[in-house]
Each structure stands twice: as C-alpha cells, then as structure tokens.
C-alpha cells in the first residue's frame, strides 16, 4: 500500500528524441542467422546430436530419466526421451568448447508439454505444448573470456515424457577443453561453465530437481488486464478465491525488495527471501494452472529497492535474475518510487538491458507516478535514461491516481492525464499516438485513494473501461485486488486502507470490470 504523497506539477516536458522502440518478438521456433568471425567454419558442435549412436553418448541426464528410443523420431532411427516426474524435470546436458565474442545458434526439434532448450546461465526457448515435432531455436553471443557453454534440454515436473531430436549448436568450434560429460548411464549434470559472462545469473535457468516450491511453466498468453496483488501483505485472499470470484488470471505480484546485502525478498522481509520461497511460488502455480500468468513487481513506495543497494549493473542484474529464474518469469515490472524515483538510473537501466539480453522473451514494464499534467520530470528522466542505456520498455505504466482531484470529475481528470502522457511519449520516442497508446499501461486505484479529494467508484471504472477500449493501451489495471472488498462494519480504518476500498461494494466489483478489457 502506498502512503499519501504530494507530487509537484511541473510543466509538460516534451523531448525531441525520435528513437524507435522495438518490442521483442515473443513465441517459440524463431530462427535467427548470426554472423561468425571471418574464416571460421560453422558446424554443429554437439556430439551425438541426433542420438544415432543408440545411446546417450556425449550427454549427461538426470539419473534414471533419459533414454534413447526408436519412436517417435524426427529423422534417422533414434531420438532422446526424457521421463519428467513430479520430482524431476528430466534434464540432459552437454558441455562444448566455443570461441569468445562469437555468435551461436542453438536449435532442435521437440515433442511434449513444456519442453525447454537452452544454455545454462543464458538464453533459452520453450514450447507449452508440442503435439508433433516442433523446432525451438535461440541465439546468443559468448562473453569476452568464455570458452565453453553447457547446452540443456528438459521437460517440466509432472508433465510426463518429452522427446528431442536433431539438436544443433551451430558456430565455429572452440579450442578449449570442455568439461567432460557424465557417462551415458546418467548421473549428475555437468557443472556450469566457469567462464560464463560476469553478469550471468548464479543459478541455472533450469529448475531445481526438488519439487518443493517448483513453479509451473510460464503461461505466455495475453496480459492485457493484470491487477496488482500483494501475495504476502495486506491480508491477501487466496488466489483460488480471487480467480473463482472475479475471473481474473493475470497478476502483477508486488513487491520484491532488498532485505539486506542485495538479497531479493518479498516486501524486503529477511524471513521471506525469494530463494527459499514456497508461498508465492504456489500462487504462481495456481495462476498458471488456471491459464493465466504473473509478473513480479520490484519496488513500490516503501522499503529499499534493490537498485539502491546492489551497487553495480551486474550485481543488480544478478539480483533481478534470481527472481526471474526462480519463478520462470516472462514479465517483470519496475515500480521505482519514493527515494528510488529518478535515482541511480544508470545502474538500474543498465541492469535491465542485461536482463533483456539474457532473457530474450522477457517483457519489461516501467511504472511511474503521475501529476495532473502527465509524467513528472523525474518520470521523463527515467524514460530518457532507459533510452540512453539501450533498455527496452515494452510497457510504460502510468499510476493514474494519487494526483488529487483539482477540477472537473474523476473520470475527466484521469482521461486527461492519460492523454497528456501519450503526448509526452510521442515527443520522447517519435511515436504516433497509436504507438504511444500501444506501449501505455493504464492503472487506476479503486475506492478512496491516498488523496482525500479522490474517489473511484464502480461506475468510474466502467466509464474508464470504455475509454481504454477506445484507445487500446497495452493494459488496463488497478491497485489493488487486496482492496477489492467493502471494509468491515464497525472497524476503524485509515483513509485508504490496504485491505478494503472504504466504499460500499461487493467483493471483486472492480476486478470484474478490469477483466473485461481485451486490449
């Protein structure tokens, strides 16, 4: 919950920059062709890449989970079969020598539910459901001192068998000696290459073999009406009750902060580090099982945002990456407020650029508090710093509340602020109005807000839904589903409590309006 704040209303500042912002292409099976050093031979570096030896020669698989089969196959006479169980994702790996500062393409054909192909500590690709052979492909560039990579393929917990065939790591061969793979009979996976990039996450993108706290694979579907939800604070309802009561399956989970020493934790609570979390992991499991997906929001008004303490871009990127890896996130939200707003921005957006390079399918939103005339100067400063650092902002989410109602109606002022923000984005990026709307997140607050002059009723939300449907922002959202209840009778509440709206309503009145938005 954000406490009251008063924002200065600066004059509108329109930039002259005309830099285009390109969205990352999502999905699977994207084939890219990369340049290699002149004169270097491009070849498939994987041993037994089609499993035509009839065994697991060259590959190290989790014990008892990998085998070679004669059907189904994509080509030839054999393919890999992985037996994912409730306690093992059936990962197989191979470590190979590569050249530094060199581009490579990893590809292969897979069948099964939630099959992943990638580089340990780096890029990966996946498919939620391949009922026949489907090609996965991903590209990457090695670091300046990198001489080996570990390729992995795995399924997902309790999803049953998967199959893989005709795997290829294409690029020039390295001159170093890769770490030896385990024998074909299985055993522990080979260790991650020691010469990985300095900004790579310390944990592998593949999940732990333990089912405890494991997370359902990312949903990858539409994300047009993600409501904000605090899963461990403000008296959270169960995810199952929210889904059944409102129909909502898209969530921005708030907030991950620093609990000390650049350690990601829920609400910055040292007793709730992300590394050992099972509570939020269970919520994300339930959301994805219902066909939805979740993003994690870093920051908020209270506590210490990781970018204030992690020091360097690589350290901050590693802290953020721990959360992405833990929950298999396709989406993250950065809500820099209070002392973090327009502070240490070079480090923050430098870290985000690293995340985007290491997670090609990642969608990034930046959430910014507003004034009655659009973005404050601190907000436009952040956007320009993102551009300067080469960090892509897929969604620029405006907190279209807490500005105080100065004239007219709540609806008219809210719409005017959004229109002002669109005009500012046009000036900064050189976009058309339609492009600016397509990158705008439109976030409200239900009931009484932190400003005594503001009140959003159910009818206001319905009217603003029509405004959103006419302009097509990237998403239509609100803070927060924790508050989407009438306050208990006879209980003295603060002006804008975190657990109820302080108006007369039925449970999930506001969420039921938000879910009607389809983009």
| Active-site annotation holds for 337 | yes
The H or E element that residue 333 is part of is: strand 331-336
Helix axes 239-246, 279-289, angle to 10 degrees: 30
Give dist(CA 460, CA 150) in Å, integer: 54
Assess contact for 436 and 21: CB atoms under 8 A. no
- 374 phi/psi in degrees, rounded to 5: 100, -150
Annotated catalytic residue, options 248, 337, 356, 454? 337
Surface-to-core class of residue 282, CB atoms within 10 Å of its CB (0-12 exposed, 13-18 middle, 19+ buried): middle
SS (H, E, C) 365-395: EEEEECECCECCHHHHHHHHHHHHHCCCCCE
Total residues found in the chain within this entry = 519
Give dist(CA 445, CA 431) in Å, integer: 28
Helix axes 313-327, 279-289, angle to 10 degrees: 60
Cα dist. 212→128, 281, 378, 437 in Å? 21, 9, 42, 41
**Which residues, listed in sequence order, are joined to residue 153 by a DSSP beta bridge?**
92, 117
Nearest to 209 by CA among 26, 381, 47, 86: 86
Assess contact for 21 and 118: CB atoms under 8 A. no
Burial 427-444 (b: 16+ CB within 10 A, else e): bbbbbeeebbbbbbbbbb
List active site positions: 337
């Amino acid at each position: 919950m954000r406490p009251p704040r008063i924002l200065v209303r600066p004059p509108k500042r329109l930039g002259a920059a005309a830099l285009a912002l390109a969205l990352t292409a999502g999905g699977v099976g994207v084939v890219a062709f990369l340049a290699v050093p002149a004169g270097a031979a491009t070849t498939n570096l994987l041993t037994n890449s089609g499993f035509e030896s009839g065994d697991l020669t060259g590959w190290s698989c989790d014990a008892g989970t990998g085998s070679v089969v004669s059907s189904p196959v994509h080509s030839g006479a054999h393919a890999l079969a992985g037996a994912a169980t409730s306690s093992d994702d059936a990962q197989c790996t191979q470590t190979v020598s590569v050249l530094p500062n060199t581009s490579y393409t990893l590809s292969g054909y897979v069948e099964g539910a939630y099959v992943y192909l990638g580089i340990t500590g780096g890029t990966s690709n996946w498919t939620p459901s391949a009922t026949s052979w489907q090609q996965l492909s991903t590209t990457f560039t090695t670091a300046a001192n990198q001489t080996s990579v570990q390729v992995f393929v795995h399924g997902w917990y309790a999803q049953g068998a998967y199959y893989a065939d005709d795997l290829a790591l294409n690029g020039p061969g390295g001159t170093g000696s890769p770490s030896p793979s385990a024998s074909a009979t299985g055993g522990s996976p080979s260790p991650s290459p020691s010469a990985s990039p300095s900004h790579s996450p310390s944990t592998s993108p593949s999940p732990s073999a333990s089912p405890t706290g494991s997370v359902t694979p990312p949903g990858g579907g539409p994300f047009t009406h993600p409501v904000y939800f605090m899963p461990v604070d403000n008296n959270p309802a169960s995810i199952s009750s929210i889904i059944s009561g409102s129909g909502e399956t898209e969530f921005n989970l708030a907030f991950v902060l620093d609990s000390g020493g650049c350690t990601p934790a829920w609400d910055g609570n040292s007793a709730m580090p992300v590394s050992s979390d099972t509570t939020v992991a269970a919520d994300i499991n339930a959301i994805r099982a219902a066909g939805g997906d979740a993003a994690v929001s870093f920051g908020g008004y209270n506590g210490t945002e990781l970018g204030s303490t992690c020091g360097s871009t690589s350290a901050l990127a590693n802290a953020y990456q721990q959360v992405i890896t833990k929950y298999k996130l396709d989406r993250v939200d950065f809500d820099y407020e209070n002392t973090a707003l327009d502070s240490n921005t070079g480090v923050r957006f430098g870290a985000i650029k690293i995340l985007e390079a290491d997670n090609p399918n990642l969608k990034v939103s930046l959430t910014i508090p507003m004034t009655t005339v659009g973005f404050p100067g601190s907000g436009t400063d952040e956007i320009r710093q993102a551009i300067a650092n080469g960090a892509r902002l897929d969604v620029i989410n405006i907190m279209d509340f807490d500005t105080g109602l100065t004239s007219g109606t709540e609806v008219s002022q809210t719409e005017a602020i959004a229109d002002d923000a669109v005009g500012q984005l046009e000036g900064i990026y050189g976009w058309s109005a339609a492009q600016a709307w397509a990158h705008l997140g439109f976030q409200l607050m239900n009931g009484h807000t932190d400003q005594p002059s503001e009140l959003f009723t159910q009818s206001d939300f319905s009217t603003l839904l029509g405004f959103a449907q006419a302009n097509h922002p990237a998403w239509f959202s609100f803070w927060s589903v924790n508050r989407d209840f009438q306050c208990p009778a006879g209980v003295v509440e603060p002006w804008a409590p975190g657990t109820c709206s302080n108006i007369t309503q039925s449970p999930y009145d506001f969420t039921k309006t938000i879910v009607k938005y389809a983009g």
